[in-house]
Structure 1
């Protein structure tokens, strides 16, 4: 990942080896992909799948481009779920939160310690969710509702504890049905699924950096039992917790 205050000329006749997400915060440039030419302005974003020929260049002295090249075994399924499989250009209603997450990723990645890499991985998931939310907004420009903001803030602070739907409804002051609707509309998952994914990110960090038993990790990350933890880990990561530990220790 990185940023260029004035992105230079880039041409890749065979594309890039990994998917790319780029977004512009200032200035203008041109993208040519699939035989089409796009003018990229501030608050616009680009998605480029792997191995797709393309080129882009600035139209003026300033073209501020932020770029992220995500990776990992779960990425293809996530992009498929988000229907991000073809080159695309998007108009983003607002990039403030996207930039904030980007800065957090950048700081974590350049912190110089192994934990920074794991923190960056956690921020990357937030970044992808926010990017997907922005590109699926309707032209009316709806953002997270205040109720959803409150629920997400509560989850981010308490996800390692026993968070219930009653807790989330209490802090957001909406019904269970409406809260589930808000999560599905903006994040395309239920509240408990979001919590599970947050917990698994912490569990992956513990599997990679400690020798704690699966039972202890399950307990420390808020899962009821080791079997429930292992079931969810395999379902969402595609491999067992033990296999992940073996590959990432």
Structure 2
């Protein structure tokens, strides 16, 4: 049975993301949009089979497949083998396009198989929130963003669906317990007995960061906590997280956070 909600659009247009529609199409029907949609669309197949045509290319839709369509992208889709059941949301936002591009959804995306467990759970929560005629805008905005992140993980980083592999996992555990030490890529690769080149390639594929980049971010994450929750001298905090040179600590901190350690501490109202 098809279930669809199109919220009344009002004050939610000022939000970063706002829901314009959500539905379970059972069965999905033949859709042709020569000029695409005005909204962004995320859709995953929960049963049956369909076909999606974008840019003259055909994509088979089966249970667990998913796609993202930006606005104004011409497309066509239709059931191809009995019933085709889809779960879809459409949404907008003044800066949604740029935010989605920054998250990796800079163009049409298709994944033949994803883990739909997390997206399906969030989809149900959005559906319930969308039924509130008064507060659906605020309620669904946060959930839509969470849903986008879940679909991002499922579609763009499929290897992380069930946690990272053993090579990266061992390295992350080692870094988290010894980030204040001088850690090299050679040391991390040696944990799994693989070459440095292979380790770095796997680590970046599974975390989207180079090993030394992750170490720096882990150190600065701890430094931020110390800046806000202690009255320790900034130079001492730098040493605690692995930077003997106060100036270098400040350079790394500002590069990652956009402000100096002192400015970060002051901006959070501690006055320490």
Range of TM-score over shorter length: 0.5 to 0.7
Deviation at 1:90, TM superposition (A): 0.8
From 22, 34, 40, the equivalent of 1:19 is 40
Asked whether 1:135 is paired with 2:155, we answer yes
Equivalent residue number for residue 15 of structure 2: none
Asked whether 1:185 is paired with 2:207, we answer yes
Asked whether 1:124 is paired with 2:144, we answer yes
Deviation at 1:117, TM superposition (A): 2.5
> Is residue 104–residue 152 contact of structure 2 (8 Å, CA) maintained in 1?
no
Task: Give CA deviations for 1:225-245 in whole Å, capped at 9, x if unaligned.
Answer: 99659xxxxxxxxxxxxxxxx
Structure 2 CA distance for aligned equivalents of residues 106 and 50 of structure 1? 22
> Is residue 93–residue 141 contact of structure 1 (8 Å, CA) maintained in 2?
no
Asked whether 1:45 is paired with 2:66, we answer yes
- Rg larger in structure: 2
Task: Give CA deviations for 1:117-137 in whole Å, capped at 9, x if unaligned.
Answer: 212111111101111011122
Paired residues, number:
165
Instruction: Call closer, same or farther: CA 1:185–1:41 in 2, change over 3 Å.
Output: same
> Is residue 66–residue 114 contact of structure 2 (8 Å, CA) maintained in 1?
no
Structure 2 CA distance for aligned equivalents of residues 38 and 144 of structure 1? 28
From 78, 81, 85, the equivalent of 1:57 is 78
Structure 2 CA distance for aligned equivalents of residues 98 and 186 of structure 1? 21
Deviation at 1:33, TM superposition (A): 0.9
Structure 2 CA distance for aligned equivalents of residues 73 and 3 of structure 1? 26
Equivalent residue number for residue 111 of structure 1: 132
After TM superposition, which residue ranges in structure 1, 4 or more long, deviate above 4 angstroms? 189-192, 224-229
Structure 1 CA distance for aligned equivalents of residues 121 and 108 of structure 2? 25
